[in-house]
Amino acid sequence: MNHTINSYIETVTNPVGRFRTLERAFALTGPDGRLLFCNGSYTANFEIEWNAAAYTLKCPIGPGDRTAAYRRLCTQLATLHTPFLAPISYLEREMTLFDSSGMPCQVDVILQHRPQGEPFDRFVAECNRRGARKSLSACIASLRDIIEWEIASGFSHRNLKAGNLIVTPAGNCTMINPDFARLEHDTRDNLPLLTFAVTALAAACIPERYSAFWREILRKRYNAVPELEQLRTAALRLNIDPVAEAVELLAACRHTPAPSTRTADCIARLAAFDTALFERMGAHIHDDRTARQSAPSFSRIADLSKYKSIGQENEGIINVETFDPQRPFLYIDCYGNQVVEGRFDHAESFNEGRAVVIIDGRRGLIDKEGAFVMPPEFEDMSWDSYHNLVTAQKEGMWGLFDRDGHRIIDYRYDWMGDCDCGMIEVGIGRKYGYVSADGLRSIPLVYDQVYSFRDGIALVELDGREFHIDLQGNPVGE
């Protein structure tokens, strides 16, 4: 049974007797009385209060069953006890839904604690308005702590955006919504963390230009953002090397992220700044009349109040849901203009020029023009932008494709997981194994359970026994 947003709304607005452990939980509403919820890639996310604390309740939606992946992710993340990641739990058979005939069913949900504070962009904007340079400095220091912790723990969020980073009034940062996280370090978080650090720096140094800076930096046109050049020029003239290095590194790592150690060192040097240096740089930029007069003026922003729900901005594009009952989803830019051709039943965020959409219950993959790279004929689909791979289900079987829709592995598996260390978890019946991302080699499907590779090693289960194997399928550590 594919659960709809409306079926979840009916339950969270009538919670009595509907939850197994979340007794007395209730949904939060906005000033207009509407439920606070949004659509993720595979979940409907409701803001709730339980035991006097705020949480996000993630409920699976859409075709396909991704509960096994979420269960495994929550099990892995439960081993991480850190202030940098909000606690998350997988609750089996937690919520009772009713289908159209009135028959009840129990569904699994994910519960994430909602830290006190504001999303990164709102926090920095408020600090910018108040001139709170010390809070901005503390925020940069917390970003340094996050990347250093990621290097040490091997954690990678893999979807780190402004809305997924909560900042406390003291400037401490906590990540939320780790739906695509892995306990296998890669460089995917380096660019957003560096972007956040430079954004906080810009808010402290050039407060009157912060709004324009933020809108343009979201579009990832780093070489065309005048405020970045102002920061770099001021830093060079004042011999403040860390700022110049941060700006140059940000522009250079747009397509190829810098090594984590270099990014961490760069953010650490920014965090070591005394707030007086922010003021000094700001004063220097103010005195540069030519730079100030040549900076363009931006005033028009999107009116998002007319949309039913709003997705997360990525690559300058936002997926939004209108109130049109026919094909309600479309894509707009930061100014409210529709920028992708077509309307859809559901639309996910863009990553590396691709996005998964749903039409008539079937998934497809589109490019930024709205053209279908893979037609909407699949029961389920997942786009892995980091590895440029698509896993897709058709007639109950899964296959593997590249970013242009070229088939790598034919439809032969009952289930396919994610790619880590070049290997993808696969299953047929109740037996599991691995296949390489190029489809040329595999580890036999003989295991009762398999988990993601990390540093070339994966945990597997066979006949009630757990042990580790390497990338060739050989047992290790025995």
Q: How many CB atoms lie within 10 A of CB 206?
A: 24
Instruction: Give the pLDDT score at 239.
Output: 86
Domain range 414-478, CATH class: mainly beta
Instruction: Give the pLDDT score at 296.
Output: 44
Tokens describing residue 291: 């730079």
Range(s) within the chain of domains with CATH label 2.40.10: 414-478
- The residue among 250, 243, 251, 232 whose CA lies nearest residue 272 is 243
Residue carrying the six token digits 């650090």:
197
- List of E strands, 309-406: 309-310, 318-321, 329-332, 346-347, 355-359, 362-366, 372-378, 380-384, 389-394, 397-402
Instruction: Give the pLDDT score at 218.
Output: 65
Domain range 118-294, CATH class: mainly alpha
Which residue type occupies 91? L
Range(s) within the chain of domains with CATH label 3.30.200: 5-113
Instruction: Give the pLDDT score at 290.
Output: 47
Instruction: Give the pLDDT score at 2.
Output: 56
pLDDT tens sequence across 222-269: 666 778 888 888 888 888 888 888 888 887 765 556 788 888 999 999
| CA pair distance 1, 10, nearest whole angstrom | 16
Torsion, CA 369, CA 370, CA 374, CA 375, rounded to 10? -150
| CA pair distance 157, 460, nearest whole angstrom | 23
Instruction: Give the pLDDT score at 292.
Output: 45
- Whether the Cβ atoms of residue 179 and residue 60 lie closer than 8 Å to each other: no
Phi and psi at residue 417, to the nearest 5°: -95, -145
What CATH fold (topology level) applies to the domain 5-113? Phosphorylase Kinase; domain 1 (3.30.200)
**pTM, whole model, 2 decimals?**
0.66
Instruction: Give the pLDDT score at 298.
Output: 40
Range(s) within the chain of domains with CATH label 1.10.510: 118-294
Instruction: Give the pLDDT score at 284.
Output: 80
Phi and psi at residue 79, to the nearest 5°: -80, -10
Instruction: Give the pLDDT score at 317.
Output: 87
Question: 120-130 vs 133-153: helix axis angle to the nearest 10?
Answer: 150
DSSP bridge partners of 419:
424
Question: What residues in the chain have per-residue pLDDT under 70?
Answer: 1-3, 40-41, 62-66, 100, 218-224, 253-257, 287-302, 478
Instruction: Give the pLDDT score at 158.
Output: 86
- Whether the Cβ atoms of residue 314 and residue 349 lie closer than 8 Å to each other: yes
- The residue among 110, 140, 114 whose CA lies nearest residue 49 is 114
Residue carrying the six token digits 């497809």:
364
Instruction: Give the pLDDT score at 301.
Output: 56
- Whether the Cβ atoms of residue 133 and residue 279 lie closer than 8 Å to each other: yes
| CA pair distance 329, 343, nearest whole angstrom | 6
